[in-house]
Amino acid sequence: MADLPTADGGTDGGTVIAARALTKRYRGGQLAVDGLDLAVPAGSVFGFLGPNGSGKTTTIRMLMGLIEPTSGTAQVLGHRMPGSARAVLPEVGALIEGPALYGFLSGRDNLVRYDAADPAADPRTRRTRVAAALDRVGLGAAAGKKARAYSLGMKQRLGLAAALLQPRRLLVLDEPTNGLDPQGMREIRSLVRELASDGTTVFLSSHLLDEIEQVCTHAAVMARGRLIVQGPVGSLGAGLRGRLAVATPDPGDAARILKEQGVTDVMVSGDRVTGDPPETDLAEVNAALVAGGVRVRGFGLERPSLEDAFVALTGEGFDVAG
């Protein structure tokens, strides 16, 4: 695996998270993470993708020094974890498994407590930074409301605000849009892009394919505790041939002719017909449609989606929308 941290604590090629053969086996024999090799480039929005139960949260807990690995190594910002947690964690903002909140305190006072517990935080600027963090996640108007009255989505926002109280080199988010409505999800995605543009590396765990595809530059796919693939998001489907898509007001005839031409898994949706293309020249397929009287308004291969790549890599379906 390239770009591993160097012995002097720096990073070779700008890798901010590096794991080698990272493994976690719980008592009773359950293998939660199995020999994980991972490299997260500096400045990326890195999607950590997999179904619930695939080992994502266990991996994050090892990376953050919350639990010890059974074997293997993990380094964050050039330092070995969990041994260097005191040096690393002040530069990392994290939201893991939902925020821990005092229900009897307001959202604002919860953040004041979080900030006061940080030895590196300047108390003279505390109130200003708390207000800025609340505004950044859209909770300014609810700052005085008791946390126990917050919805799940508001609690997620408050946890993210806590992670943003100080400038961070790395932001680690475990299912950050959990409980948010569609508008809230869009706002958090926009915030993640903004943070990345400011130079923060964002490590984002999710079971939502749409979330990863829309916001991430790089991704890794986990399944049953093992890493399946990692790399730039656009490359995860490399080698896959896209779906053939035909737009036509004659979908029934088009579907019949496509099957005759060797197109498989043909699906009709309104005036759109799709299928897995044959090995033959697609120009011949198009010609057969025209010769059969099909009015073709659109014809071509669609780029494979992240969902296509996941299914091809793992042989499993996936929760696309959550």
Helix (H, G, I), strand (E, B) or coil at 88: helix
Identity of the residue numbered 47: G
Domain ranges for the chain, please list them: 15-235, 244-303
pLDDT (0 to 100) of residue 40: 96
Whether residue 205 contacts residue 33, with contact meaning beta carbons closer than 8 Å, is answered with no
* Residue 230: both structure tokens together: 């990692």
The closest alpha carbon to 158, from 170, 146, 168, belongs to: 146
Helix (H, G, I), strand (E, B) or coil at 4: coil
For residue 234, the tally of other CB atoms under 10 A from its CB is 13
Q: How many CA atoms lie within 13 A of 42 on its CB side?
A: 16
User: Backbone phi, then psi, for 116, in 5-degree steps?
Assistant: -65, -25
pLDDT of the chain, 322 residues: tens digit per residue: 333 333 333 334 489 999 999 999 998 888 999 999 999 999 999 999 887 788 988 999 999 999 999 999 999 999 999 889 888 988 999 888 778 899 999 999 999 999 998 888 899 999 999 999 999 888 999 999 999 999 888 888 899 899 889 888 999 998 888 778 888 888 888 888 888 888 899 999 987 777 788 889 999 988 889 998 898 987 776 656 678 999 999 999 999 999 999 999 999 999 999 998 998 899 999 999 999 999 999 999 887 666 666 666 666 555 444 3
CATH code of the region 244-303: 3.30.70
Q: How many residues does the chain have?
A: 322
CATH code of the region 15-235: 3.40.50.300
pLDDT (0 to 100) of residue 7: 31
What region does 109 belong to: left with phi over 0, alpha with psi -120 to 50, or beta?
Answer: alpha
Q: Which pTM was predicted?
A: 0.74
